Amino acid sequence: MSEPDPSETLFERIIAREIPADIVEETTTTLAFRDISPQAATHVLVVPKTRYRDVGELAAADPALLADVIATAHRVADLDGLVESGYRVVFNTGADAGQTVFHVHAHVLGGEQLGFFGRYQEKPDEG
Ligand code: AMP
């Protein structure tokens, strides 16, 4: 097996099937897989197959691809039966928002009553 390219993000390696993920949906332009550390009953990440650093870069460069990401997020919510009960789509963008992987991704959260969000609080498993 060839050495991993250090400029590649984790998500490019998941898209390339170089590392495993629990994939729930794939389109020609997007991939959706379950978050390895779920923060809700449903916690799925949706990524465009083309890499942009964050949602602002994606929106500026390719708005149609951003629409594809949102459409896949809605499809994932539908597959998990969340459309009636409701769900949340989050794009963490930059340091204060806690973005850790710099390949834009939508978090799709739902399947239970979600908490409020905004100001910093420790994750339950860290406290
Ligand atoms: P963010 O903090 O918004 O950049 O989100 C990155 C997300 O990627 C976090 O919620 C992590 O739990 C998730 N994550 C990290 N590694 C993996 C992986 N191998 N498979 C699935 N999700 C992952």
Residue 97 in contact with ligand 1 by CB distance below 6 A:
no
Per-residue pLDDT of the chain (127 residues; tens, 9 = 90+): 455 555 689 999 999 999 999 999 999 999 999 999 999 999 999 999 999 999 999 999 999 999 999 999 999 999 999 999 999 999 999 999 999 999 999 999 999 999 987 777 777 665 4
Q: How far apart are CA 82 and CA 19, in angstroms?
A: 28
Q: How far apart are CA 79 and CA 93, in angstroms?
A: 26
Nearest CA to ligand 1 atom 20: 36
Chosen CATH of 10-110 out of 3.40.50.720, 2.60.120.10, 3.30.428.10, 3.20.20.210: 3.30.428.10
Break the chain into its structural domains and give their ranges. Answer: 10-110
Residue 79 in contact with ligand 1 by CB distance below 6 A:
no
What pLDDT is stored for residue 78 in this prediction? 98
Q: How far apart are CA 103 and CA 55, in angstroms?
A: 9
What pLDDT is stored for residue 99 in this prediction? 96
What pLDDT is stored for residue 127 in this prediction? 47
Atom number of ligand 1 nearest to Cα 33: 21
- For 40, other C-beta atoms within 10 Å of its C-beta total 19
Residue 37 in contact with ligand 1 by CB distance below 6 A:
yes
